[in-house]
Every structure is written in C-alpha cells, then in structure tokens.
C-alpha cells in the first residue's frame, strides 16, 4: 500500500451499516481517517449500503475511481448483513478491478477499545442464547488472540477464559444484552458503555492494512463469509424435515 492510497471499508455484520474512507500514512505507518459513515439499519443493509457509500465519498470530494483498496468485515455476525456486504464489495472489486481484503469482524471490533494491558472481549448478539465472541490479551500495547472466534453461551465463554490478570472488558451488543449474566458469572468484569463501542469501519480499515503488511490474499473471488454456525432458517428447515421423516 503506497502513500496516500485510499481504502474504502465497510462493516455490515451488525445492525449498523458502517463505512470508512481511509488513506495510508507512510511516515506514521498507519491509516488516516478521511471520512466515516454509520447508520443503524436494523440489518436492512441492502437498502442503504451503496447510497451511504456515495454520500460519504461525495462529502470527502472523492469517487469510486479514486479508491485503491476495498476491505469488508467478513464475520461472524448477521447472516444477511454479511451476505449483503460481501456481495456488494465483491461486485465493486470486480467492476473496478480492485484488491479486496476480508477482515474478521471480531478482530476489527477489538480495536474499538484501545487497551495497553488487559483482556478485551467483543461480543456480537447471535440470538438463541449465544454470542459470537473472541478474546484478546493486550500486553504493553501488543495484541494476542487467546480465544478464537466462536458461537457460544456467555457461561461457556467465561469458563474458557478462566483466571486472567488485568482488567477484563466486555463490549458489543452481545455484552449489552447479557450484561447481568456477565456480571453474575464474573463480578470483576468491566462492561464498556454501548455508545463508546458503536461499530466503526475505520477499525476494519486499520485491520486490513495490518493484514496487507502480512501478505494476506486480496483476490475478491476468494473472499468468503465466516458464519460459525448455520442460520436460524436453516436450522428450522432441517428440524422440520427431520420431523417429517421421523417414524
């Protein structure tokens, strides 16, 4: 990624439609935010993703022709939101012949809480009494993933976490929904205020830049969603079929 090249990022894995336009700052070795857009869509992303993109680019005096890279949150998260975001960004990547970076949603979310030392747990409400979650240990400003992405109950997550030094931060709409259960199971837990961790696509852009530095695959044909489990509709369909075939 060269100096001042623009990266357009989106995150539709939650009820929010989040977009960011970022430029690479070579001297500081990081991405610089040019524009942000975030609207709560209640998972109706198909209705506003492209219009929001054009609105944000216009405000930044840019067009799609100025973009050099695309990045998209690839999950886990809302099944419909992920499909819409990936399909739209893959379409743009093919049409504009641009590289596409698929960014794990929870890795991007971990950047919402700038910890120096401690444990960060982003939680996305997965319904059915589960969350999509991962855990990250921060030590002297460096990040290590200590629990891989999973669809699980809050109780199972906290059991797997075990004893950990330093502050333990839970955030995201999953943490908001299961706040009481988290505090009952782990009284020392810190719950980050929801308004402080509203999804932002500039975290997707920052994670995409880090992945580019590691030589990640950027072929849009290979970008795929991470679901972690089958959708409620698929599970209901299979249950219905099983009941019909059972003696």
Q: What does the pLDDT read at residue 237?
A: 47
Domains of the chain: 6-106+199-228 (3.30.420.40), 114-196 (3.30.420.40)
Which residues are registered as beta bridge partners of 197? none
Confirm whether pTM is higher than 0.85.
yes
Neighbours of 41 (CB within 10 A): 21
Distance CA 130, CA 122 (A): 13
Q: Are 190 and 167 in contact (CB under 8 A)?
A: yes
Q: What does the pLDDT read at residue 165?
A: 87
Distance CA 107, CA 192 (A): 17
Q: What does the pLDDT read at residue 241?
A: 45
Per-residue pLDDT of the chain (247 residues; tens, 9 = 90+): 666 899 999 999 999 999 999 998 766 678 899 999 999 876 566 778 999 999 999 999 999 999 999 999 999 999 999 999 999 999 999 999 999 999 999 999 999 998 889 999 999 999 999 999 999 999 998 999 999 999 999 999 999 999 998 899 999 999 999 999 999 999 999 999 998 999 999 999 999 999 999 999 999 999 999 999 975 544 444 444 455 555 5
Question: For residue 131, what are the CA distances in angstroms to 9, 135, 208?
Answer: 24, 12, 24
| DSSP-derived 3-state class of residue 14 | coil
**DSSP strand E in the chain: where?**
6-11, 16-25, 30-40, 67-73, 100-103, 118-127, 130-139, 142-152, 168-171, 190-191
Q: Are 208 and 69 in contact (CB under 8 A)?
A: yes
Q: What does the pLDDT read at residue 26?
A: 65
């Amino acid at each position: 990624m060269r100096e001042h090249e623009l990266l357009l990022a989106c995150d539709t894995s939650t009820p929010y439609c989040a977009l960011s336009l970022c430029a690479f700052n070579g001297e500081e070795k990081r991405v610089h935010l040019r524009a942000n857009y975030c609207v709560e869509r209640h998972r109706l992303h198909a209705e506003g993703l492209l219009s929001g993109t054009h609105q944000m680019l216009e405000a930044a005096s840019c067009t799609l022709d100025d973009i050099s890279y695309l990045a998209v949150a690839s999950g886990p998260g809302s099944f419909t939101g992920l499909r819409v975001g990936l399909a739209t960004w893959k379409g743009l990547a093919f049409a504009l012949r641009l590289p596409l970076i698929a960014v794990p949603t929870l890795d991007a979310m971990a950047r919402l809480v700038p910890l120096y030392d401690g444990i960060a747990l982003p939680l996305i409400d997965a319904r059915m009494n589960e969350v999509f979650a991962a855990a990250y240990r921060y030590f002297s400003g460096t990040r290590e993933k200590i629990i891989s992405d999973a669809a699980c109950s809050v109780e199972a997550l906290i059991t797997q976490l075990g004893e950990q030094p330093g502050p333990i931060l839970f955030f995201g709409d999953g943490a908001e929904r299961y706040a009481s259960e988290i505090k009952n199971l782990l009284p020392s837990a810190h719950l980050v205020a929801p308004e402080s961790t509203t999804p932002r696509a500039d975290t997707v852009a920052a994670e995409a830049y880090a992945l580019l530095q590691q030589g990640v695959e950027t072929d849009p044909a290979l970008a795929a969603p991470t679901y972690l489990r089958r959708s409620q509709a698929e599970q209901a369909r299979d249950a219905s079929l099983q009941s019909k075939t059972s003696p």
